[in-house]
């Protein structure tokens, strides 16, 4: 077994320590690698900087790390995102400063697909409204609601983005008899995965026009921000449902609310939001028009959650840091800024670096 004791000399900071406290699994894994992260809860740049200015490695979950923070990282080698999206991190500046930005891109693919289908089924069968009617003893009202439900089999699910989570959704959707179509940012990408799943690849306009259910599976970038805007919503099939378990700002929420209020869309299932901060330390009932609508199902950015995904993201994020502090490149798919020239030279990725540890935990 490798000797990891040299890693104890590095200063490692773990943000979001109160909002997302380290699990026992994460703590045990850090101990195995002789890492002792300094736990901090700071969310504003002026509060974050004193904690991180002289760190060698930085763990982050939901906190934003803008340029004002990244420019103060005097010796940091890696920003390890314990999750997937890095739209809150000043990645370009980190690259300029020789700081690797890493993530764990596949930790919750199964969970996100399950949650997408859960939202779809809740909308299709009007489960929230049925539950509310049941609690009120309004059994006749519930029966009347059920009479307008549409059979899933034969209807169309459109996927905007066709990465790993979308492919897992396609597998699940076909078990319900749904026809699946999809679009992606790179039209030149190989069609074999789509063909193997029986998914018809089309353009975005076709997805919007033909789909009874539209599900978003894209990262948030300047190009994808508000990809579902007022014009896109108006191109959607009348009565269609929108599902978003990706990033809130993919959707223009004002346009969505208008379409739902006017009855142009049948409903929406949302796990992510642009205007509702579900990571605020001061929890209180949110004020937003979406909360006033009966034809929406809302969850607070929990699509990734499970015991298994929690362990996977901890292991992936920690091993990214351990590899870099040990002088090795991490897994290529975990590097967000692939063109970075590291502050400290790194050896080629070693696929045997962690193989002896699997049996320990």
**Annotated active-site positions, please?**
247, 283, 301
State how far the Cα of 26 lies from the Cα of 40, in Å rounded to an integer: 15
All residues at 6 or more sequence positions from 75 whose CB lies less than 8 Å from its CB, including other chains: 54, 55, 56, 343
Phi, psi of 2, rounded to the nearest 5 degrees: -65, 150
- Structure token pair of residue 123: 């909308």
H helix intervals, 201-344: 204-210, 230-235, 253-261, 307-325
State how far the Cα of 328 lies from the Cα of 3, in Å rounded to an integer: 15
Do 118 and 98 form a contact (C-beta atoms < 8 A)? no
Do 343 and 349 form a contact (C-beta atoms < 8 A)? no
All residues at 6 or more sequence positions from 359 whose CB lies less than 8 Å from its CB, including other chains: none
- Structure token pair of residue 3: 């000797």
State how far the Cα of 361 lies from the Cα of 357, in Å rounded to an integer: 7
Task: Give SS3 for 114.
Answer: helix
């Amino acid at each position: 077994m490798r000797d990891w004791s040299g890693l104890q000399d590095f200063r490692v900071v773990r943000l979001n320590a109160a909002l997302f406290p380290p699990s026992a699994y994460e703590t045990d894994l850090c101990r195995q690698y002789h890492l002792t992260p300094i736990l901090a809860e700071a969310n504003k740049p002026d509060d974050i900087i004193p904690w991180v200015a002289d760190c060698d490695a930085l763990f982050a979950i939901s906190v934003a790390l803008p340029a004002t923070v990244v420019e103060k990282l005097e010796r940091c080698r890696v920003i390890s995102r314990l999750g997937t999206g890095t739209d809150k991190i000043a990645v370009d500046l980190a690259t300029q400063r020789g700081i690797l930005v890493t993530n764990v891109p596949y930790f919750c693919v199964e969970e996100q697909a399950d949650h997408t289908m859960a939202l779809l089924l809740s909308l299709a069968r009007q489960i929230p409204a049925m539950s509310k009617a049941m609690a009120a003893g309004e059994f006749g009202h519930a029966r009347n609601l059920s009479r307008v439900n549409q059979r899933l089999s034969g209807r169309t699910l459109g996927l905007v983005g066709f990465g790993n989570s979308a492919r897992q959704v396609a597998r699940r959707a076909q078990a319900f008899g749904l026809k699946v179509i999809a679009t992606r940012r790179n039209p030149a990408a190989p069609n074999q995965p789509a063909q193997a799943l029986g998914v018809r690849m089309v353009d975005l306009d076709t997805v919007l026009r033909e789909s009874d259910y539209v599900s978003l599976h894209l990262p948030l970038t300047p190009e994808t921000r508000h990809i579902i805007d007022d014009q896109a919503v108006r191109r959607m099939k009348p009565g269609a449902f929108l599902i978003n378990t990706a990033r809130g700002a993919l959707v223009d929420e004002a346009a969505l609310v208008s379409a739902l209020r006017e009855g142009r869309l049948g409903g929406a299932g949302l796990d992510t939001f642009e205007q509702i901060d579900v990571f605020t330390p001061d929890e209180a009932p949110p004020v937003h028009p979406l909360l006033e609508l009966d034809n929406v199902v809302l969850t607070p950015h929990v699509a990734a959650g499970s015991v298994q995904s929690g362990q996977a993201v901890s292991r992936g994020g920690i091993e990214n840091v351990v590899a870099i502090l040990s002088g090795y490149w991490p897994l290529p798919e975990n590097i967000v800024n692939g063109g970075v020239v590291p502050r400290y030279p790194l050896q080629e990725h070693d696929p045997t670096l962690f193989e002896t540890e699997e049996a320990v935990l």
